[in-house]
Chain A
Amino acid sequence: MSDETKTATRHKPPAATVRQRSQRELVLRRFLRHKAAVVSLVLFAAVVLLAFAGGALWRYDYADITSAVSVPPSLEHPFGTDNLGHDTFAQVLRGTQRSIEIALLIALLAGLVGTLWGAFSGYYRGITDSVMMRIADLVLTLPLLAVAAVLTRGTSGSWWFVALVIASLQWAYVSRVVRGVVLSLREKEYVEASRALGATDRWIIFRHLIPNALGPIIVNVTILVAAAILVETALSFLGLGVQPPDTSLGLLVSEADTAVSTRPWLFYFPGAFIVVIALTINFIGDGLRDAFDPTQRKVRT
């Protein structure tokens, strides 16, 4: 592209004439222009609301055993019931709640640890960086399924423990991304200037590097939420995730695996919820990526 067009499209109006729009406002505006992301955000919010508020309002509790056994979807039981008489709708709401809790906890833990790990590694470079990154590499080579399988075996399979296990491997991805961003940020003039003014390392990391790496961090952690939902599902399928009587979407679908031809509603409804949740989060992540990194959207052809 000729640099005129570049300058033209990125041109910032002079401060005197037009007020400078804040970074946050710009990001929000770009995000709102991503239709799929906005629709997804609304849909995701609706699912969350349904799961967390709807479960309490619904006429059946997920543990209730009704007299209707293995009935197909009806007005009474919109998603049907299982062979014990559990109302599937109530169970799906409960499972959604758990799955989202697990995914968010994973994203939070992995995001936090990964960000700090990557920021320190990238900022200090040298031997610190080498050691920290070799550790991250080692974690990346450990197959998630094997570790999760081994770790969750001996335990009761409570949901937070499952989340902890998954997060204990996923942080390494985040740390790689953050390190990459920090490596380039630390060479920026404002970091130089801050250092020249005698700022401490901790000040530079928390006041300059992490806030400026926030865009990629948010995007990656968002996508991690979607991935976490799918990983939890896979683990539950292998019998290594959340254990009954607690439930999650993954557990619901895997329990319905054998019933798929006789009582398909048990399989399709929770599965559809997983797809909707993961799909909306992925689109939200895509919208955030566009919002934080508008250069990706430049068009030429």
Chain B
Amino acid sequence: MTPIVLTFTFRRLLISIPVIVASTFVVFLLVTLSGDPLANLKGRNPPPSPQVIAVEAHRLYLDQPVLQRYWTWMTGVLRGDFGPSVRTNLDIGHEIAARFGVTLRLVAVAVVLALLLAVVVGVLSAVKQYSGIDYGFTFAAFLFLSMPSFWFAVLLKQGGISLNQLVGDQVVYTIGERSVVVDGGAWAQLADAAGHMVLPTVSLALISFGAWSRFQRASMLDVLNSDYVLFARAKGLTRRRVVVRHALRTALIPMTTVTALDFASLISGAVITETVFQWRGLGDFLVTSINQRDAYAVLAWLLVVAVAVIVFNLIADLLYALLDPRIRYE
């Protein structure tokens, strides 16, 4: 990286800090106002002694005023302490790191798959605009765009179960991100992981594919109608060269940005897919934390997602500058 890129990166990260502070603060207030995190404890039968409740309240910073609680949490995060969880033995930082790995694996593979499909389909649709292929792809894209993600995921899950019954063997797994026990070496481990990934990945990928293929088609049409593509044709280049080198190369620039931005939102959007396939990823972590009114756990989740958004925004901009010679770092 050249110094100018480094400066640019640094500046961008710096100006993102207020955004993170503001959005964690808003969510902190929301979670705090939504209910008493000690409700479960207090509702126990027999009721725990006031001392027990007081100790627990102290552990969760509940004896501090609201604003100070946020401050305590934030300064803690800077030291690497993500705050206390309602679940007594849970180390939030440790837990969320493990969960992040699971989700990232799911999202990364799904994004690559969706991107490949979307580019191929978008380009074909644009080149053959208003043909049968274009109409077919358009309908498919709109269909995926219009399916509730969990309905589609359950549909796939059912399909997987039927397939397994048909074959009489466990071809694809429909639950969890890996088997509890895997016999055999690295290959068996890998095959097991892959078998678990197929359905969740496909379900996540196809939902993104719907929107992305439309975007790629529009961006490709834009370029195909440009003067420089006409000029490229006037040079006597082959159709393939015009489409790939002149049109696709340029049409990929906005697509790259959209993908990078959506990558971040998929990290938070994978909640549904993870829940259906019972992956213990970030989504499951969020849902459980919300149900337990576990404020600092929710904040930790938000922090991870917000940082992901910022990092991917940055990646989007860097890629843009890399792919488009007209863009300069400012």
A and B touch in the complex (CB under 8 A): yes
Binding site for B on A (CB under 8 A): 1, 36, 137-138, 141-143, 145-147, 149-151, 153-154, 226, 230, 233-234, 237-238, 250, 253-254, 257, 260-261, 267, 271, 274-275, 278-279, 281-283, 286, 296, 298-301
Which residues of the partner chain B approach A278 to less than 8 Å between Cβ atoms?
Answer: 145-148
Sample of 30 A–B contacts (CB below 8 Å): A1-B230, A138-B26, A141-B306, A143-B268, A143-B302, A146-B302, A147-B30, A150-B30, A150-B298, A153-B35, A153-B293, A154-B35, A226-B145, A230-B146, A230-B147, A233-B148, A237-B150, A237-B275, A254-B150, A257-B150, A261-B161, A274-B151, A275-B148, A275-B151, A278-B147, A279-B146, A282-B145, A286-B142, A298-B225, A300-B225
Q: How far is the CB of B329 from chain A (nearest CB, A)?
A: 21
Which of A1, A153, A234, A301 is within 8 Å of B272, CB to CB? A234
A230 touches B31 (CB 8 A): no
B290 touches A149 (CB 8 A): yes
Q: How far is the CB of B93 from chain A (nearest CB, A)?
A: 19
Task: Please give me the 4 A-B residue pairs with the lowest Cβ-Cβ distance, nearest first.
Answer: A278-B146, A279-B146, A233-B148, A271-B151
Q: How far is the CB of A169 from chain B (nearest CB, A)?
A: 11
What is the bound-complex CA distance between A35 and B147, given in angstroms?
A: 21
With A1-B225, A137-B19, A141-B306 known to touch, is A282 a contact of B142 (CB < 8 Å)? yes
Which residues of the partner chain B approach A142 to less than 8 Å between Cβ atoms?
Answer: 23, 26-27
Q: How far is the CB of B265 from chain A (nearest CB, A)?
A: 8
Beta-carbon contacts under 8 Å, B22-40 to A: 22-23, 26-27, 30-31, 34-35
What is the bound-complex CA distance between A33 and B26, given in angstroms?
A: 47
Which residues of the partner chain B approach A271 to less than 8 Å between Cβ atoms?
Answer: 148, 151, 155
Residue of chain A at shortest CB distance from B305: A143
The bracket for how many chain B residues form the interface is 35 or more
Q: How far is the CB of A179 from chain B (nearest CB, A)?
A: 18
Which residues of the partner chain B approach A146 to less than 8 Å between Cβ atoms?
Answer: 27, 268, 286, 290, 298, 301-302
A230 touches B149 (CB 8 A): yes
With A147-B30, A233-B148, A274-B148 known to touch, is A238 a contact of B271 (CB < 8 Å)? yes
Beta-carbon contacts under 8 Å, B143-159 to A: 143, 145-151, 154-155, 158
Which of A153, A234, A257, A282 is within 8 Å of B154, CB to CB? A257
B106 contacts chain A at the CB level, 8 A cutoff: no
B290 touches A275 (CB 8 A): no
Prevailing SS type, chain A contact patch: helix
A230 touches B148 (CB 8 A): yes
B75 contacts chain A at the CB level, 8 A cutoff: no
Residue of chain A at shortest CB distance from B150: A237
Residue of chain B at shortest CB distance from A149: B290
A233 touches B129 (CB 8 A): no
With A141-B19, A146-B302, A150-B34 known to touch, is A275 a contact of B27 (CB < 8 Å)? no
Which of B143, B293, B301 is within 8 Å of A279, CB to CB? B143
Q: Specify which of A143, A278, A282 lies most central, judged by the most chain B CB atoms within 10 Å of its CB.
A: A143
A253 touches B127 (CB 8 A): no
With A141-B309, A153-B290 known to touch, is A234 a contact of B149 (CB < 8 Å)? yes
Q: How far is the CB of A85 from chain B (nearest CB, A)?
A: 24
What is the bound-complex CA distance between A153 and B230, given in angstroms?
A: 57
B71 contacts chain A at the CB level, 8 A cutoff: no
What is the bound-complex CA distance between A150 and B27, given in angstroms?
A: 9
A237 touches B225 (CB 8 A): no
Which of A36, A233, A296, A298 is within 8 Å of B150, CB to CB? A233
What is the bound-complex CA distance between A283 and B141, given in angstroms?
A: 11
Which residues of the partner chain A approach B293 to less than 8 Å between Cβ atoms?
Answer: 153
